[in-house]
């Protein structure tokens, strides 16, 4: 896939060019797999163009409020899915569902949000995931009608170099300055407005590792945001995410470069934590730090603590729904996720060396994260 040279240059197009060149590098994908991957990228671009067309026709979308957004900004495998599913149970929350994120246009409507034909399209795509690698939905459960990560509607995010072997694209993404990050992240806000045009809530709830990447611009785009940062022993989180990324990569190729995955994911962790540690001090009241083990041990209490910190009303009905959901999950079959740093060219010593500054920084905020060895 080649982005035409006569397309006006901007950060969105620049990133597409970088990504297209990276995945086409010799030896990464054979011609059939590369064509499949290029079709996947094309679908992303077409979805973006549909939204752009709708916004041009309906400029009132840009005036839709994004009320008191509650953003989960945890690195991968830190318990963010558990917290996200619980927060989505609040009847006041507007949490985008997977089918909405995959098929944004036209904007969902209240009367058919549970029956929209795009739900079946999303379900068929999930079935294709399972055929490519059954482990994907076991490591990271996904469902068409369930909440999912907002990286699906971001023009550029760290998810793309997880999905595709494209280390050059990751190098491009992490060097963007604050103004370029703000330009891209403002487009994510527009997508959030679009999804709330007909189906709004009292507050927007989103989770994405990408929120960490966009921290330098986050409060410019969402001045009243409440941020939940999740923390887990990097010797668990990093190899666990590497394992999930290996499954993602098998969607496009049976040959997976495990060492490149290890290098990229560890570098992402170090870069994300650097951005987190640099968050502005004057926004400290809008950020709460939660440890993975505390969330897993007392999920309802953790949600109540988050709500108390930020002033969201926590109703008895919401608490009842959380308890019911957790009971259902406890009765579900368990799948053991096995992984090791060495599978990805890493070791405990290498991970700890890259994480030393973060480990010292996080301890006074939510306690020692090392030895948090609960697998998830």
- Cα separation of 208 and 228, whole Å? 11
- 174 Cβ contact list (under 8 Å, min separation 6): 213, 267, 271
CA distance 206 to 93: 10
Q: Out of 1.10.10.10, 3.90.25.10, 3.65.10.10, 3.40.50.300, which CATH number does the structure's domain 11-366 have?
A: 3.40.50.300
pLDDT score for 9: 56
Give 253's contacts (C-beta < 8 A, 6+ positions apart). Answer: 28, 29, 30, 33, 165
Q: Phi, psi (5° rounding) for residue 291?
A: -90, 140
Quote the pLDDT of residue 374.
Answer: 40
Sheet holding 226-231, edge to edge: 93-94, 203-207, 70-72, 226-231, 287-291
| DSSP for 95-150, written as a single string | --BHHHHHS-SSPP-GGGTTT-THHHHHHHHHHHHHHH-TTHHHHS---TTSB--G
Q: H/E element holding 94?
A: strand 93-94
DSSP 284-340: GGGEEEEEHHHHHH-HHHHHHHHHHHHT----HHHHHHHHHHHHHHHTSPP------
pLDDT digit string, tens, across residues 216-245:
999 999 999 999 999 999 999 999 999 999
User: For residue 333, what pLDDT is reported?
Assistant: 75
Q: Which residue matches tokens 């945890």? A: 74
Rounded-to-10 torsion of CA 114, 248, 237, 282: -60
Q: What is the pLDDT of residue 334?
A: 74
Q: What is the pLDDT of residue 62?
A: 94
Can you give the pTM of this predicted structure?
Answer: 0.94
Distance CA 5, CA 139 (A): 40
Instruction: Sort strands 203-207 and 226-231 into parallel, antiparallel or unpaired.
Output: unpaired
Provide the pLDDT for residue 335.
Answer: 74
Which residue positions in the chain have pLDDT lower than 50? 1-8, 372-376
C-alpha to C-alpha distance for 245 and 268, rounded to whole angstroms: 13
- Which pLDDT does position 346 carry in this prediction? 98
- H or E element: which one contains 230? strand 226-231
- Locate 244 and state its tokens: 């999930």
What pLDDT shows up at residue 338?
87
Note whether 28 and 169 are within 8 A (CB): no
Rounded CA gap, 210 and 10, in Å?
Answer: 20
Measure Cα distances from 86 to 133, 173, 195, 302 in Å.
Answer: 27, 31, 20, 10
Distance CA 290, CA 74 (A): 9
pLDDT tens digits, 328-376: 998 777 777 889 999 999 999 999 999 999 999 999 999 999 864 443 3
Q: How far is CA 360 from CA 219, 230, 287, 367, in A?
A: 25, 16, 18, 10
Cα separation, 183 vs 185, whole angstroms: 6
| pLDDT on residue 371 | 62
Burial group, residue 185, by CB count within 10 angstroms (0-12, 13-18, 19+) = buried
């Amino acid at each position: 896939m080649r982005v035409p040279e006569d397309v006006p240059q901007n950060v969105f197009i620049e990133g597409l060019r970088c990504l297209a060149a990276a995945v086409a590098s010799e030896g990464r994908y054979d011609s059939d797999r590369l064509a499949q991957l290029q079709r996947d990228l094309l679908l992303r671009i077409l979805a973006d163009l549909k939204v752009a067309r709708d916004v041009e026709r309906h400029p009132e979308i840009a005036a839709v409020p994004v009320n008191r957004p509650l953003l989960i900004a945890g690195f991968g495998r830190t318990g963010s899915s558990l917290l996200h599913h619980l927060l989505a149970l609040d009847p006041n929350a507007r949490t985008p569902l997977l089918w909405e994120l995959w098929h944004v246009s036209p904007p969902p409507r209240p009367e058919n949000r549970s029956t929209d034909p795009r739900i079946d399209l999303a379900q068929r795509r999930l079935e294709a995931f399972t055929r490519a690698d059954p482990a994907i939905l076991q490591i990271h459960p996904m469902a068409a009608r369930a909440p999912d990560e907002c990286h699906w509607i971001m023009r550029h995010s760290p998810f793309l170099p997880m999905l595709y072997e494209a280390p050059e694209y990751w190098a491009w993404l992490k060097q963007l300055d604050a103004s370029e990050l703000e330009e891209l992240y403002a487009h994510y806000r527009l997508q959030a407005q679009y999804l709330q045009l007909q189906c709004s809530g009292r507050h927007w709830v989103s989770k994405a590792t990408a929120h960490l990447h966009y921290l330098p611009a986050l409060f410019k785009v969402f001045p009243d945001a409440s941020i939940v940062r999740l923390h887990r022993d990097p010797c668990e989180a990093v190899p666990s995410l590497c394992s999930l990324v290996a499954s993602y990569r098998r969607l496009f190729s049976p040959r997976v470069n495990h060492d490149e995955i290890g290098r990229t994911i560890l570098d992402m962790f170090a870069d994300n934590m650097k951005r987190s540690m640099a968050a502005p001090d004057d926004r400290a009241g809008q950020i709460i730090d939660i440890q993975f083990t505390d969330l897993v041990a007392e999920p309802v209490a953790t949600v109540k603590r988050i709500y108390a910190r930020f002033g969201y009303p926590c109703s008895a009905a919401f608490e009842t729904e959380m308890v019911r959901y957790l009971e259902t999950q406890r009765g579900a079959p368990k799948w053991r996720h096995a992984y090791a740093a060495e599978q990805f060219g890493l070791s405990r010593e290498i991970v700890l060396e890259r994480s030393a500054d973060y480990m010292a920084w996080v301890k006074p905020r939510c306690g020692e994260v090392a030895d948090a060895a609960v697998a998830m």
